[in-house]
Amino acid sequence: MMDWTDRHCRVFHRQLTRHALLYTEMVTAEAVLYGPRDRLLGFDAVEHPLALQLGGSDPVKLAEAAAIGADYGYDEINLNVGCPSDRVQEGRFGACLMAEPELVARCVAAMQARVRVPVTVKCRIGIDDQDSEADFERFVTTVAGAGCTRFMVHARKAWLSGLSPKENREVPPLDYGRVHRLKAAHPQLTIVLNGGIGTLEAGLPHLDHLDGIALGRAAYQTPYLLAEVDGRVFGDAGPAPERAAALEALIPYAEQHLARGGRLNNIVRHVLGLYHGRPRARAFRRFLSENAPREGAGIDVLKMAIEIAEGRVSTRDAAA
Ligand SMILES: Cc1cc2nc3c(=O)[nH]c(=O)nc-3n(C[C@H](O)[C@H](O)[C@H](O)COP(=O)(O)O)c2cc1C
């Protein structure tokens, strides 16, 4: 998720689930081709399985960017046909491409011709006045005709003019039924449902009919829900990781980051919601928010936050 997630966030999430597929934020094909490539695409081996999400609409550039992504070792290349931001529309990519299924199909075909990993598509159920079930069906069958077998569908339409990106994630109503009917009509396609799933409990029933669920905001804001994914979705019998253990596992990674001149807050800003709903959640969040951004903040800040959250040290003792 642009401006929210990054490689450090994914390393943290990976301490909570070994099996869930993680996605990068959208990176444009142009940025991959002409930008600071290692900074945009570099990741830690622990992040696997990991998908790179690309934005663009030029089949040649997308194919080249996909090939570069595959060389970096990504397990899947995903094309964004769901982002409604103005910035994105000017570049003619994101959700506005739902109006051009043939172009999306050409992009997918060109990308697939260059990589062995799956090329998948993230889309909406419609845009503007092209929002009928028949429009959606035509989009999916056209793109599937180019060889895409996996679709992640954000189950609401996007209004490309008039609504902000944030409103486009909240205002148009969710229509899970449309995604379920898509799967029923195309059982051979892998269909993953996205949008408005706030808890694992809410998401699990969809798995009786669909192939997957994708969580955006909830995974970021209440990350501990990821701790139950391996057991409840993937049937992994091991115990769910404890919150403190997930943070302790992050310490060596954070130490390496600091040793390379990175800032503690680059990493710990992603963990603030870990204790959401727990007794000392607020103290944990406040201690980290106040101390991790400070110049020179070291690993002791993270260690102390764990002590506070686990009730072993009070915030008053921590301040002393
Ligand atoms: C800050 C922010 C950035 C986002 N960036 C992306 C992105 O880069 N690529 C993408 O496919 N979706 C992006 N999204 C949309 C989410 O992936 C997701 O489709 C949407 O929030 C609905 O799912 P949710 O209700 O589980 O959050 C972003 C959402 C937010 C809140």
Position 319 scores a pLDDT of 67
Which residue would you say has higher pLDDT here, 58 or 317?
58
- Print burial letters for 146-181: b (CB count within 10 Å at least 16), e (below 16): bebebbbbbbbbbbbeeeebeebbeebebbbebbbe
- How far is CA 179 from its chain centroid? 19
Cβ count within 10 A of residue 250: 23
Give the confidence band of 172 by pLDDT, cuts at 50, 70, 90: very high
Q: Could you confirm whether 83 is annotated as catalytic?
A: yes
pLDDT band at 198 (very low <50, low <70, confident <90, very high): very high
The amino acid that residue 302 corresponds to is: L
Binned at pLDDT 50, 70 and 90, residue 316 comes out as: confident
Residue range 262-281: average pLDDT? 98
pLDDT of amino acid 314: 80
How does DSSP classify residue 305? H
Instruction: Check residue 240 and report its DSSP letter.
Output: P
* CA–CA separation, 294 and 254 (whole Å): 15
Catalytic residue among 83, 107, 123, 148: 83
- pLDDT tens figures, 97-133: 999 999 999 999 999 999 999 999 999 999 999 999 9
Q: Is the pLDDT of residue 220 over 70?
A: yes
> What is the C-alpha separation between 20 and 214, in angstroms, rounded?
9
Predicted local confidence at residue 88, as pLDDT: 66
Joined tokens for residue 24:
């990068």
Average pLDDT over residues 190-195: 98
The binding-site residues of ligand 1, defined as CB within 6 angstroms of any ligand atom, are 1-4, 25-26, 53, 80, 82-83, 122, 154, 169, 194-197, 215-218
Q: Which of 153, 154, 156, 171 to mutate to test the pocket of ligand 1 (most atoms within 8 A of CB)?
A: 154
- The CA-atom distances, in angstroms, between 142 and each of 103, 104, 108, 138, 275 are 10, 8, 11, 6, 44
pLDDT of residue 318: 72
Residue nearest to ligand 1 atom 13, measured at CA: 1
Confidence of residue 277 (pLDDT cuts 50, 70, 90): very high
| pLDDT above 90: percentage of residues in the chain | 92
* 201 pLDDT higher than 70: yes
Range name among 88-97, 233-242, 246-255, 289-298 with the lowest pLDDT average? 88-97
Q: Which two tokens stand for residue 14?
A: 């990976």
Structure confidence at residue 43 (pLDDT): 98
User: Rounded to the nearest whole angstrom, what is the distance from the C-alpha of residue 25 to the centroid of ligand 1?
Assistant: 8
- Using CA of residue 36, residue 40, residue 41, residue 42, what is the dihedral sign? positive
Interatomic CA distance for residues 187 and 182, integer angstroms:
8
Q: pLDDT for 12-50, tens place per residue?
A: 999 999 999 999 999 999 999 999 999 999 999 999 999
Containing H/E element for 34?
helix 29-34
Q: What is the pLDDT of residue 114?
A: 98
**Which residues 6+ apart lie within 8 Å of 87 measured at CB?**
none
Residue minimizing CA distance to atom 14 of ligand 1: 1
pLDDT digits (tens, 9 = 90+) for 67-103: 999 999 999 999 999 998 776 666 688 999 999 999 9
Q: What is this structure's pTM?
A: 0.97
